[in-house]
Structure 1
Amino acid sequence: MEHISAAIIAVCDFLMSFLVISTCVVFFWRGSWGVLDLYLYPSNVELSSWICFAYGNFVMILTGLLQKYTSRIKKFKNVVVYFVLSRVYIYIIATASVAQWRGIWNLQDHYTGKTWQSAISSFVIGASVICCLRCVKTIMAASPLMVSHDTDSAKLFRITGRLGSKARCSPWFVADMVMTPLLVHTFVVVFWRGLWTLMNIYLYPGEDTLSGLFSLVASLALAFPTLICQHIIVPFVKNHSNKNRICVVLLLNLYLVMASCLPVAHWRGIWILQDALLIPENKQFSVWVSHTLGFLGGVLVLSAKSIPVLGCLLDSSIGKDDRPLISIAYFKQMRDNICYQKNVKCSNDLDDKDVVSKENTENNNKPIEFTFITHL
C-alpha cells in the first residue's frame, strides 16, 4: 500500500508541476512581459530594454542585500498581515525578475539580431559561462522542474548567491548579491534566449499554434527520461571512488544542460499557445488577463514563489545531501512544511509557557513582604 500511495503522490506532483504551477508561472511572465511591451516606451525598444535592465537588476540586488530585514515579515503573528505582505513581496520581485530578463533578452535581439548565428552564439556562450561558474543547476531551476512552496517560510525570503555568503554586513556578502544578478542571471538569460530563438527559427516558423503545441509536447516527452536520469547521475556524482573527477563534472554538466532544454521548451509552448489562442484580437486585454490569472493562480496554489528567478544554485551541492536534483514534490512537501510550521509554533508556545511558569515559581518563592509591596 505504501508503494501505491507513493506512486499516486508522485503522479499528482507531476501533473501539478507540469500542468498547473508551470502554466500559472508562464501566464504571469507572458502577461508582465506584454504589459511592458505595451506601456514602457513601445516606440523605442532600446530605451525600454535598458530601463528594464536597470530596474530589474536594481530591485534584485536590493532584495538580496535587504533579505535579513524582509525576512522579518514572517514574524508577524497576524496571519492576514503576513499573507498580504509576503505576497506583495513576491509580486515585487516577480515583476523585477521579468523586467530584468526582458531587458537582457531584448538588448541581445537589438544588438545582435534574431539570426541563427546569433541564437547559436547565445546558446553556446550562455552554457559555457554558466558551466565555468559551476551553477548550471540555476538554468534548470525553473518551473516545471523546480517547485517553490509559499508555506516554507524559512526559505520564502532567502536569496542565495554564487559565492555562498551569509546574510550579514560584509563586503563579501555585498559582492555576492551584486555578482549573482549581474553575472549569473545574465548568462542564464543568454542561454534561454539562444535556445528559444533557435526553436522560433526552425520549429514550424510562421505557424504559431503548431509550433507552440509541438514545443509543449516535446517538453512533456522529455520529462520522463529527465526525471529518471537524475536517479542515475546523482549516485554517480556521489561515488567518490571515481578517480577522474573531471569526467564526472563534464557528465554532470552535460546532463544539466540537456535537462535545462525541457523548461525552455515547456515555457515556449505555453507562451506561444497563449499568444495564438488567448484573446488574440485584443492584445492589451490578453496580457492583462494573463498577468492577473498567472499571479492569482500561483497564490491560490501556494506556489507564487515559483514565479520569480532568484538566487543561485551551485552544482557542487549536488550529491552532498539526500535532496533530489529535480524538485517537483508538491503535495508531500506542502504537508511537511505545514507540519514543520505547526511543530515550530507548538515549541514556541511551550517555551512561552515555560517562561510564564518559571516567572510564577519565582514570584511564589519571593518573600511575602516583597510580594505584598509590589502588588500595592
Structure 2
Amino acid sequence: MATLTLLPFTVPSRPAVRVGPVSLVWRPRVFLIGLAGLAVLVLGIALNVGIGEVRISVPDVLVTLVGGGDPGQRFIVMGLRLPRSLTGALVGAALAASGAITQAIARNPLASPDVIGFTAGASAAAVFVIVAGAGFGAVGFTASAVGLPLAALVGGLVSALTIYGLAWRKGVQGFRLVLVGIGINAMLIAIVQWLLVVAQVTDAARAYTWINGSLNGRGWEHVVPVAVALAVLVPAALVLAHSLGALQLSDDSARGLGIRVDKERTLLLLTAVGLCSVATASAGPLAFVALVAPQIAQRAVGASRPPITVSLVFGAALTVVADLLARTAFGTELPVGIVTAVLGAPYLLFLIARHGRKARA
C-alpha cells in the first residue's frame, strides 16, 4: 500500500533588522532606490545653492555644507542660499508624505491633497489672511508671523473634514472621495479668485505670487516650521503606517484583521492634512508634487501602495529639481509651482487614462 510522506515546508520570510525594541523588515530594493533619491536630492541642492551672482562649484558647495570652505563661501551658502533649497526639500517631502497617505486611505492614485481640496482649503484661508492682513494686524495677528501658517492649517483641516463627511456613506470609497474633493476644490478655487478680485492691488499681487508656489526669498524662518512639522508628523505617520496595508482592503476585511478602521483613517487623515497645510503655508500650493512623487515611488519599489519614506525623498528631490529648472531653464526666474504643474499635469492625464482603461476592462 502506498504511503504519503509529508515533506517539511518553510514559508519564505524577509530578513529583519532589530534596533532595540523596534524590528524592521529589510528590503534591499527600497533601500537602494531611497539612496538613489537622496543622491539626486543632494546633487540638486548643491547645484541650486551654487547658482547666483557669485557662482560656487558643486564640490565647493558640498565642502561648505560639511563645515569647510572659506568664510565668504560659508556666508553665501549657509546664510543666503541654503534656506531656499532646504525649504523646497522639506515642503516637497511634506507634500509627498501627505499624498502617499491620502492615496493609500482612498485606495485611489488620484486622491492627492491638491486634487481633492485639502491644499485648496489651506490656500483659501491663507489668501484670506493676506488680503485681510491689515485687520488682523490690529490685534497682533499678522500674515507674516503666526497668522499664515495657522490659517493654512485650519483651512486645510476644515476642508478635509468637510470632504470626508460628504464622502462618508457607511465607509469611504476612493472614487466618491475623489469626486467630492474635486467639487470642493473647484469651489475653494472660486473663493480664492473672488478674494483676489476684491483685494487691494498690493495685497492681490502678494497673494497671487504666493498661490503660484514660490521659494523666492525663503530664509531660516521658513525652514523651521516645516522641519518641526515633519519631525512631529512623519514619525506619527510611520507609526500609523502599519494599518495602511489593511486599509487597502474593504472596510469589512480591515475590521476582520483587527484594524479600528474609523479611528486609524481619521488619525492618518489628520496627519496628512497637517503636513500639506504647513507645506502650503511655507511655499504656497506646489501643484502635483503630492500626486506625482508617491506614484513614482510606488512604481519604483514595486509596492502595493505608495511608500511613505521613499515618497518623502522623491518629493524633496522633485521640488528641488523643479526649483533649479525654474531658475535656469526659461531665461527668467519662474515660481517653482509653475514648473511642478508643467511636470505633473501630463502625469495626471496618464493616471486618468490608465484608470479609465482599467474601468472598461
TM-score, length of structure 1 as denominator length: 0.29
Q: Which entry has the higher C-alpha Rg, 1 or 2?
A: 1
TM-score, length of structure 2 as denominator length: 0.30
More helix by share: 1
